[in-house]
Structure 1
Amino acid sequence: MLAFRAAVEAHDMDAVEALLADDVVFSSPVVFKPYRGKAITAAILRAVERVFEDFRYERVIGAADGRDHALVFAARVGDREISGCDFLHLDTSGRIAELTVMVRPLSGAQALQAAMAAQFERIAEEAQATRRTQEAGARQAG
């Protein structure tokens, strides 16, 4: 999905969030249970953007008009190099319904887990603030 890649590479996290379905399911490379919902997924992706250094996509796999894409990336967390892949599945409206991230090697995944754990409180606060904003907007619209 070129729009997702472009938004990530531009560090435009608002554009990334706009591409997520409301009920998106995010599967982390370092946590067993998937996260559900746009607010928490967007907050996690903002934290990843803060944690990854020298992030770059190296290739995209999948047909441009298809609903499944794999975006291969490389990055660094501290002194650990990471290789990984973002697997995207789009819903019928073209929004990201599923986002699964896998990374290697183990030492890189461990560095990522530690860095993300340090972001946990901020992630929870950002997700809660987003949910409150969404709920207020829904009340005003309804």
Structure 2
Amino acid sequence: MEFVRLASPVPNQQIDYARFAMQAFRKAVEAADGEAMAACLADDVVFTSPVAFKPYPGKPITAAILRGVLRVFEDFRYIREINDPETNSHALVFETTVGGKRITGCDFIHVNDEGLIDDFMVMVRPLSGATALSEAMAAQFPQIQAEAAEAIAALAAMEQ
């Protein structure tokens, strides 16, 4: 019997590396560990919110937004994971509750060559859930902005 090798070890290692990075993020979210979540983000990450009109560039604001999300989500759980190993792209489908509204959503994540998340987009449904999320996050936004500003100041102090 003849065996055919379908892929070389190098691409498989890259696939495993990207998937490992995504799994680290998933575990951090499921543990509600804001520091571990931030450690998974690239400095130049871009976060696209389901309830804002503009993307948020940079690790400080993205990490602060994710901590804010941890404060408003109730009964959060990932229910499905989809991976595209050729592009280091992942989709994590989740369910949660915000303000008494059930939400189904998806985190679309891209992992860079260093194994860090450099693109993070979230979509949610239904509209009533997106509205509840928008209202809850609006209430969090002063704290989110303060946390991001504090992180930026700490980074600037370290560079001096």
TM range, smaller chain: over 0.9
User: Where has structure 1 moved over 6 Å in runs of 4 or more?
Assistant: none
Partner Cα separation in structure 1 for residue 53 and residue 46 of structure 2? 13
- Give the aligned length: 139
Q: How does 1:54-69 map to 2 (within 5 A)?
A: 54-63=75-84, 67-69=88-90
Q: SS at 1:118's partner residue?
A: helix
Partner Cα separation in structure 2 for residue 6 and residue 64 of structure 1? 19
Q: SS at 2:24's partner residue?
A: helix
- Whether 1:37 aligns to 2:48 is no
- Whether 1:8 aligns to 2:33 is no
Residues 7 and 16 in structure 1, CA contact (< 8 A), matched pair in contact too: yes
What is the aligned partner in structure 2 of residue 138 from structure 1?
159
Among all aligned residue pairs of Structure 1 and Structure 2, give the percentage whose two residues are the same amino acid: 58
Partner Cα separation in structure 2 for residue 49 and residue 94 of structure 1? 23
Partner Cα separation in structure 1 for residue 54 and residue 85 of structure 2? 30
Partner Cα separation in structure 2 for residue 93 and residue 138 of structure 1? 22
Q: Could you report, residue by residue, the CA deviation over 1:89-113 in whole angstroms, capped at 9, with x for unpaired residues?
A: 1111110000000000000000000
Alignment RMSD: 1.2
Residue 146 of structure 2 is aligned with which of 116, 121, 125? 125
Q: SS at 1:123's partner residue?
A: helix
Structure 1 residue 65: Cα displacement: 8.1
* Structure 2 residue identity aligned to 1:118: A
Partner Cα separation in structure 2 for residue 113 and residue 92 of structure 1? 33
* Structure 2 residue identity aligned to 1:82: I
Q: SS at 1:50's partner residue?
A: helix
Partner Cα separation in structure 2 for residue 63 and residue 115 of structure 1? 32
Partner Cα separation in structure 1 for residue 97 and residue 82 of structure 2? 22
What is the aligned partner in structure 2 of residue 49 from structure 1?
70
Structure 1 residue 134: Cα displacement: 1.0
**TM-score (ref. length: structure 2):** 0.84
Structure of larger gyration radius: 2
Partner Cα separation in structure 2 for residue 55 and residue 79 of structure 1? 13
Gaps of 5+ in 2: 1-21
Gaps of 5+ in 1: none
Residues 27 and 101 in structure 1, CA contact (< 8 A), matched pair in contact too: yes
